[in-house]
Amino acid sequence: MIRIEVADLTTFAVQGIVRPVSSDLAPANARARDLVAAAGTDLEERLERIGMLPVGGAVLTPAGSLVAEYLIHVVVMSDDEPQSSYSIQRALRNGLRRASDWGLESLAVPPLGLGAGSMDTDAPARVLVEVLLNHVDEDVPPSELTIVVASDFERELFNRLLEGR
């Protein structure tokens, strides 16, 4: 099941939250930065110890002070490789695998690739929807997927894409 909700990820009640990052685990956008700030210093220290990950990689950590239990950090870009539909697809697939490996049943996914400076909103949104629909078809955990958007514009975009499938 895929739902769409306008909500604040820092207070969203799910087992796991996808967090887009660069290869050094720095936040890829303001929402990803806010998650770490709300999670607390223990998470920041843990991320520093992990080090670098390749684009497309994903790592699961405890969510610290957040309502959610876990954060799944998905690497959507690096200094050498800008964020693209392909990097989003690889990272989200690996993030879903980590969630499945850990048996998470509920997962919040923010719009990856949308945000300030993003000229084309449809392409990354289509990729996200496609990956989530393929995951649902596989019938493995997590079975409750929520695209957590920040605006009515984003909600309408994802509703349109899901209705078109």
The CATH number given to whatever domain includes residue 59 is: 3.40.220.10
Residues making up the chain, counted from first to last: 165
> Where in the sequence is the domain holding 155, given as residue range(s)?
2-163
Do the Cβ atoms of 107 and 15 come closer than 8 Å? yes
Amino acid occupying residue 25: L
Whether pTM exceeds 0.85: yes
What is the full per-residue pLDDT of the chain (165 aa) written as tens digits? 999 999 999 999 999 999 999 999 999 999 999 999 999 999 989 998 998 999 999 999 999 999 999 999 999 999 999 999 999 999 999 999 999 999 999 999 999 987 654 546 788 999 999 999 999 999 999 999 999 999 999 999 999 999 977
Closest to 113 measured CA to CA, from 73, 85, 74, 78:
85
| Overall number of domains in the chain | 1
